[in-house]
Structures are given as C-alpha cells and as structure tokens.
Chains A and B, each alone.
Chain A
Amino acid sequence: MSQPVLQIEGLTKRFGGLIAVDNVSLALAPRRLHAIIGPNGAGKTTLFNLVCGFLSADAGRVFSAGRDIGGLKPHQISRLGIARTLQIKSVFNRLSVEENIWIAAHARNRFLHPLRSAEKDRGTREKVERVLEEVGLSALAQREAGALSYGDVALLEIGIALAQEPRLLLLDEPICGMSPAETGRTVAKIRQLAARIDIVIIEHDMEVVFEIADDITVMAQGAVLASGAPDVIARDERVREAYLGQPDDEDFTEPAHA
C-alpha cells in the first residue's frame, strides 16, 4: 500500500470569526480521480489555497507522499510535483501561449541561465510542443495569452499545470465557462490524464463529476459532509438535502450511473 499522494488531516482555517475550512480530513488514493463538490462558499477553493501554500492553516496538517508540506512556500510545494489551476483563470497575459508553457516547463530548473538564448534550449522546446499538442493549443502557440477566448485560457491553464510534470494535479473548476464542445474535449483529456497523474478536481457540473470521478467529497460550510464512491454519495440523504436537491425540486439532478 503506497503513500497517499495527498493526505489532509484536520485542516482548519479561520478568517476572523468565520471558519472557512473546518477540520477537513481527506486521503487521496493513488491513480484515482477525486472530486470535491459543494455549494459556493463551502471552502473548496480555500482548501486548495491551503494545500498549495497560499494560506497557512490554523490547525491540521497536509502530507504529500508522506511529507508534511505545511508551512512551505507555494514555489517549494510546486517543486514537489503539485500543480494547480486557479478558479479565476490566471496566466501570463502579455506573453505568447508558447512562452507561457515554456516558462512552466523550465521552472523546475534550479538554475536559470542568465545569458543563453531561451529559444535554443531544445529539451524544453520539445516538452513545450508536446504539452501544446496535448491540450490542443498548437495552432495558437504564437497568440498572446491575453487575447485568447475564455475556454482557451482554461486550456492554457491546464497546459501550464501539465508542463510542470506534476504528480498531483489540483484543478479548480477547469471547465467553467467552456462551450459544450470544449467541455467534452477537456473532460476526455482529464480522464486520460487521470491514468497517469493523481487528480483532485473542484467542479460544479454534476454530470461531469459523476461521469469521471472515482471518489467524491462533499463540502458544506467548510466541513466535509460526506465522502465516498459516487453512487454512495448520490444516495446520501444529507447530500441530497444540502446540495443536490429533493426529487420535487426543479433543480434536482439525477446523477448518471456508471
């Protein structure tokens, strides 16, 4: 039984009087795609922020491959192989798509050469081309990142995360704002990636979640409401009440069965 790629124990974060993350525990088994769902304000993004080092926890610990990563800075955590996309898409706007990916691919090098021409680095260049292929942005390689459509920026974010060759990928609402075609493509891609990278995904689209997730954790008001396999979650009364809605509700979503 190998080390869980991500293990969270009793993580708590308070902002003044508000408890944003309340004693959350989670264990991510390897090679499984874990989805975190919950209403807005449930603390999902805050949880990600704690894991990747943007915030420091008030209590609890985070382990990655057995190592306590609490207190590490974001760039140090990134170097351990944890990559993340942001809920509000955030890339290097005035640089080209290719440069965006290049920087992410090269960032792991401890030493950044100050004088050699970046373009001449063949190893990184090949990596960049592969990643561009993988996310389907090869045609837009020279386009300025700030000029991309929202869906393409989301793909670029995923590309930037992939370029870091992560062991663990934290995707924060990756398909938000995408057209149905883009969504289909991206979901397929995420499924593909899940075969070789461990993924935790925050998502609102229930269809997608129940389609690709191996495990689901439901959060509400900062705490874990329920955690387990999709069909278990779908049948859970508390989850239905809090989030999925009752059968008479017009918002009720009948989860797809695997």
Chain B
Amino acid sequence: MSTLAPHRELGLTDAEYEGICERLDRDPNSLELAVFSLMWSEHCAYKHSKKLLRRLPTEGPHVVMGPGENAGAVDVGDGLTVAFKVESHNHPSAVEPFQGAATGVGGILRDVFAIGARPIAVLDSLRFGELDSERSRYLFDYAVKGIGHYGNSIGVPTVGGEVQFERPYEQNCLVNAMCVGIARHDRLIRSAATGSGNVLVLFGARTGRDGIGGASVLASAELTEQDAAKRPSVQIGDPFEEKKLLECCLELLAGDVLVALQDLGAAGLSSSSSEMASKGGVGLDIDVSRVPLREADMEPFEIMISESQERMLCVVEPEQLAEMLAVCDRWEVRAAAIGEVTDSGRLRVLDGDELVGDVPVSALVDDCPLYDLDPQAPSEPIYPTPPARLDAGADAATTLKALLASPSVASKRFVFEQYDSVVGSRTVRRPGAADAAVLQLAPDGGRGALAVSIDGNGRRAACDPFTGAVEAVLECARNLACVGAEPLGLTNCLNFGNPEKPHVAWQLTRAADGLREACLALGVPVVGGNVSLYNESGEGPIYPTPIVGMVGKLAYPERAAGSAFAKEGHVVALVGPYSPDLAGSELEKLRGGMATGLPAVDLAAHAAALVALRRAVAGGGLATAHDLSEGGLACALAECCIGGGVGASVDVRALGADVDKALFGEAPGGVLVAGPREAIAGVEGALRLGEVGGERLVIQGVLDLEVRALSDVFEATIPAALA
C-alpha cells in the first residue's frame, strides 16, 4: 500500500492542496478532497493546456456555440445547427479496449445530445502499435469491436475515420471519437443551471462503483506496468440504456420541459453539477441519499465521483417536474430529483439531513491553478528510428506493393465493415467511397449535405510538430474539398505525452501554434475540442498526435466526387500545390528512417488551392477526387484503381527525374482528379497525367502491374494480421 499523503495519492501537489485549504479556510474532508482531486485534474481543468487553447481562433460567421459548451455548433442554414466534438478515451482503451472504446463513443454521443442535437454520425481516429505485436492486435481488434458495439446498437452510423500503426503507441493506444449531431436552432439547450428553487434531476442509469477516479487515476497520469489493476477504473457501457436516454432527452427538449441539460462524463456528478452551477452563477444542493444506486452501501464520496455511464443531469422548474418524469417513464428511463438550485454559489452535498460536503463552486471550476509550460526543443531525437522493412534498392513495383501492404496504408475495409454506416438514411458517401463522408440533410428538412472528415498523422508531427498540425488541418480541409464542401468549423483532440517534460511541452506548444496558423489561414474556427496528455509508458511518450475533425457543407450531394476511378476513358490529372519529399513519408519509415523536420508549408497557396478544388468538384464535372497522403502519388493511383476495379495509364515524368520522390514522396496539397476530358480541362492548374482504362496500373517507364494483384495486397494485410 502507498504511504503517500491522501492528496498526493489522488494526484494533487502539495501546493494545490494548500490552495484548496486556503479557499475553504480549513482542511477539506475526504469527500471534498476527492471532488477537488478530480475537478483539479488535468482531464477536467486543462491546467497544462488552457493557456495554449486560448490562442486558437474560435470566431466565425457560422459559429452558434464555441468552446466551453458540451459540444461546438455551427449554422448550416434552413434553421438547422450542426453540433460536433471529438474526444479521447485513450487510457481506458489501453487498459480495457472494448469497454474503453465503447464508452468513448457513448461519452461523445452524450456530449452532442446534451446540447439538444440528434447524433447523426460518428467518426473515429485510432492509433496502435505495429501489428506484429500481439498487444497491438488485441487492442486494435477489441477497440474496433467496442466502437461498433456501441454505435451499431444505438443506431448512429459510423461514417468515417482513420487508423495508423506506429511503435510508440504500443503501450498507449489512442482512441479518439467524434460525434456530429443535428438540431433545429430553437431546440438547442445550454448547460447553465438557473432559477433558485428549480429542481435538479438525475436520469438514466443507476450509479455504481464503476469508473471511480477515472479522470485522475487513468486520464491524468502516465500508464505503468500495474495498469491491469486499474481495470475497475474503466466504465462499462450500455448502449441500450443510452438509446433510451437519447430519445428521452430529445423528446424532453421537443416539449420544452427543461431549463438546462448536462451529461455526466469524467468525474461524474461532481463535475456535471459544479459546471452547471458555475455557468449559471448559482449554487446547488445535492442529496446523495436520493441518487438511485446499483450497490446499496456506496459512500457519499463514491456517489459524487462515480463515472457510471448513460446518465444525464437536468434542471427543471418545479411545475414541469411531473411532465419531465412522465416522459422518462414512457422511455423506461429512471429519474430522480436529487437536489435544487440555490443562490448560495456553493456546491453543498447532503446525505439525508447530514451535510457531508460544502465548497464554493468557483473554487472547484475556476480556481484550479493553470501552469505555464516549459517548452524546450529536444537536442537529440526523442524517438528511435523504426526498423527497416524494405531494402532501399527495391524497384518501384516492389516498393508500391510494400507500401500498399503497410498497415497504415492498407485497406481499412476490415474496420469499417464492422460499423453500421447507413442507419439514419443520410449517408450519401460511405466509408471507402470518398475522401470525406457525405450526409444529406433532407431527412432533417434541410437542403444539401454535410461533409465530415477526421485526420492527423503522428509520425509527421513527430518529425515536426508545427507542420504536422498544419498538415492535419489541411488534410481535413482537402478531404472536404474532394467532395465539394466548404468547411464551417473544426474540432480537435491534442494527444500528447507528459506536458511537464520540456520536450513534450515543446511539441504541444508547436502543434498548437500550427493549428492556430492553419485555422487562421483557412478561416475555419475551432468550436470545441479535447486535450489528452500523459500519453506515455515506460518506453516514452507517444508521437505528438493532433487530430482534427472538420464539418463542411455542400449544396449538391450527388456531385460529391468519389475516391475511385469511375469510368474508362476519364482523364487523370494532378492538382496542387504539391512538392513531394521523402522526409516523413511512409517510404522513409519502411526504409528505417525518421526525418527531424518537414518542408515549410505556404498556407496562403494551399488556402487558394482548396477553394479552387472545392469549386471544381461542386461544379459537378469531376467523378474522382482523391487526396494524396500516406504512400504518395503511386498509392493514391493504386487506391483509385482498386476502388474502381479498373486500370489507368499515366506518365509522371513532368514531376521530376527523382522517381522515388515523385511517386512515393509525401506533402500536403496533392489531389488526384479524374473525369471527362472537358471537365479536367476546366480545372485550373491541373497537370494531365493520363487516362483511366484497362486492367493494369501502368506508370510509363516505371511500373506495370495488374490492378487485381494490387488489390490483393491492399486488402490482405489487416484481415491476415487479425486472423
């Protein structure tokens, strides 16, 4: 057993503990200390990242709700608002991948329906170690099953995502889930508790001992050898309970029964209640003896910090309470009035008649000390170079096949076929069909469609955190442009190591700067996000992994270009700016290299090119638009051929004499387009490469391969690894 002082065992520093005593003018009791330790954890208070996040641009003409609410929201016209947010569930997934990933989905869904929006899509961004590791295969397999289990069972389609495999994620995998929801403007609700005397109602699942201390124990500390013992800190998901809760909440909002609504996530009742009180500038009295329990003998502190899933908290006027409870009853959702709004400005916890905790709301929510980072660029490489898997002298055909078989490039069909991508009747472009998912708005009474994408590349960010973050924003925007969509807003999840270490602080600072610069250049506001720090194991930090999710709008969903070649005779062309380089490329990794810098990006040129591409696609002439990413031009060509089951013949000599660079080099900006001759002629700056046709991919003078053989390689890797 540990002999640490209680506050240290809960993750608080001595100085923080003294700060708590000052604010209370006494020592906290054990319940108060438990609540403070969670509210002042990195996970809840963002104490190492808040100052950086304040520098991100958050304003824009379409923004309806910015950071600070449960999810961000943008206006998409016709009286409709789209809410979205990405959030991590990394450490729970590293300890118990199925439930960790499942409850990650459950949590982000609740964030979206907590503001009154119906969830219409989930996307996820996953990172694991290399697939030759048994642990990585286990985490990958069960995280995917967990995501599918929750999303499929609740009837929200999983429409997109990405997966990469790199050694530094072996112990500490990443599971980031993004949810997109839709609401009429007048149905949106905020989380500010108001109206002294109003009733606080807890509804949904009963409260148990699961997830006690998850935010501090799991999410705000590095992973260690003893993590199996932390399994009880992982919550268990029940998508059926959440499905009822979701429909119940939406019916309550349609009936205008609620004053405020908030989901219960990290730190459970403690954080949800204190944040509602803080936003409304009120106090709350909570009687824990009125909380429906799963286990009879729970201590008051356990009830306050339990992270049991599928629970919501709302404020109701007393005269609306009966109606609120009736709606819950119809949906077979358990509900209990557990307290009331006061004008005390204090969170008072009662156990029947006994006062068991009494703290100022502002001390919990606003007074957590914020720390300045101490960033220092590393003097030597932080990460070991990956082992060489491909001979540098391999010919182009061998190289292309090796890249297509590399797990990060290989087909993710095995993953996305485990997700329901069509429920809801909105999905116009499914996973694998286009660079961004396209969701029509007609079922919601809107016109046109949404496009959504989620992107990031940790290895490139490890080479250069600033440029890596810039590229994540650009790739997301490019994926949207490939379906003809204009970006409206962005959410992000910053997955990093321990920020108290100077080199991680440097990565975080540089990435936040990159995010800021790219958002400003593209004019896309950040409407919400999440930070996941302390992603480290005994082997060091993960690659710095800024993940970007973006939502855009397009007028004509039927015009959204696909990521496959569509028709023999279509002209194939490349649009840029595009200056491929082997630094940070997948090929560099296969050859056992790791660059310590990436070429700088001309953001203004990229911003202009994105507008031009979007207009070209939205104009309706292009059948194909596919972003060049991992594996460069050659892999993009192969993917277009494989997707369409058709060959192509191209000449890439105009791209320079260095074939490796031209075919396998990587850089932001490149997009492969295809369509009828006249349509391609109308695309400004398009470099004609060749034509679609036949059954072979022919790169003149370089390689000539059967598409079926490429497809076999591309499709085989992941199913074979998990067989």
Q: Do A and B bind each other?
A: no
Residues on A lying within 8 angstroms of B by beta carbon are none
